[in-house]
């Protein structure tokens, strides 16, 4: 049994949902898992865990500032442990942008940080226009229109490949 910390940054809750699926996979394999938000992470000693996993969503082309701060402040612990990072974004709904080596947001993110995660994954996110405030709904609809995605204001589509999430959970177990 290993102690794994699973840290997430989520704007609308979907990255947390993905983490909950990973948690089930990891616990089913006999691991002890702490699921925490990036805001809670400074209160934890990452050195006390056997593996460190971080997942972060994209909003308007960027990961949260909290993810950058966490990585910067915990870089030594990250580098000294088996680790993984995954990003959640809507551009990953496209087949040619759903892999670590083809996702522009992940590529840019990795070029901006000192940490080079040992395992990487990209998951497509979810659109749920009715959950968004007026500004976000309008902005995301415009972005979807420009990228030929769904724009109907009542649209709710989960683009996540949940089997891919399960497989990533097994990759984490095998690290």
Task: Read off the CATH number of the domain in which 24 is found.
Answer: 3.40.50.360
**Reported pTM:** 0.92
Task: Render pLDDT for 21-79 as a digit per residue (tens, 0 to 9).
Answer: 999 999 999 999 999 999 999 999 999 999 999 999 998 888 999 999 999 999 999 99
Instruction: Give the DSSP letter of residue 148.
Output: T
d(CA 33, CA 2) in angstroms, rounded, equals: 8
Backbone φ and ψ for 86, nearest 5 degrees, come out as -135, 150
**Number of domains observed in the structure of the chain:** 2
Looking at the structure, tell me whether residues 103 and 41 fall in a common domain: yes
Looking at the structure, tell me whether residues 64 and 148 fall in a common domain: no
Is the pLDDT reported for residue 144 higher than 90? Answer: no
Looking at the structure, tell me whether residues 121 and 144 fall in a common domain: no
Q: What mean pLDDT is predicted for residues 11-16?
A: 93
The count of C-alpha atoms lying within 13 angstroms of the C-alpha of 166, restricted to the half-sphere facing its C-beta, is 4
For position 51, what pLDDT does the model report?
Answer: 98
Would you tell me how many other CB atoms lie within 10 Å of the CB of residue 76?
11
Looking at the structure, tell me whether residues 97 and 13 fall in a common domain: yes
Looking at the structure, tell me whether residues 49 and 132 fall in a common domain: no
Is the pLDDT reported for residue 140 higher than 90? Answer: no
Q: What mean pLDDT is predicted for residues 97-112?
A: 95
Looking at the structure, tell me whether residues 116 and 144 fall in a common domain: no
Looking at the structure, tell me whether residues 24 and 96 fall in a common domain: yes
Looking at the structure, tell me whether residues 50 and 33 fall in a common domain: yes
For position 107, what pLDDT does the model report?
Answer: 96
Looking at the structure, tell me whether residues 27 and 52 fall in a common domain: yes
Looking at the structure, tell me whether residues 103 and 39 fall in a common domain: yes
Higher pLDDT pick, 141 / 88: 88
d(CA 154, CA 120) in angstroms, rounded, equals: 33
- Decide: 149 and 127 in contact? Cβ < 8 Å: yes
Higher pLDDT pick, 79 / 148: 79
Looking at the structure, tell me whether residues 109 and 139 fall in a common domain: no
Domain range for 145 is 127-158
Interstrand relation of 156-158 and 126-128 (parallel, antiparallel or unpaired): antiparallel
d(CA 91, CA 102) in angstroms, rounded, equals: 10
Looking at the structure, tell me whether residues 35 and 78 fall in a common domain: yes
């Amino acid at each position: 049994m290993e102690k794994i910390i699973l840290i997430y940054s989520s704007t609308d809750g979907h990255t947390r949902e993905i983490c909950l699926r990973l948690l089930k996979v990891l616990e089913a394999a006999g691991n002890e898992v702490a699921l925490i938000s990036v805001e809670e992470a400074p209160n934890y000693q990452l050195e006390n865990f056997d593996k460190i996993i971080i997942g972060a969503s994209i909003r308007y082309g960027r990961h949260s500032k909290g993810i950058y701060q966490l990585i910067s402040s915990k870089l030594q612990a990250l580098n000294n442990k088996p680790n993984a990072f995954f990003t959640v974004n809507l551009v990953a709904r496209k087949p040619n942008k759903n892999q670590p080596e083809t996702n522009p947001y992940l590529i840019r993110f990795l070029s901006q940080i000192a940490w080079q995660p040992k395992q990487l994954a990209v998951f497509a996110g979810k659109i749920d226009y009715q959950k968004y405030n007026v500004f976000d709904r309008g902005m995301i609809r415009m972005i979807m229109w420009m990228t030929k995605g769904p724009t109907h204001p009542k649209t709710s589509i989960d683009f996540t490949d949940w089997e891919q999430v399960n497989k990533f959970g097994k990759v984490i177990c095998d690290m």
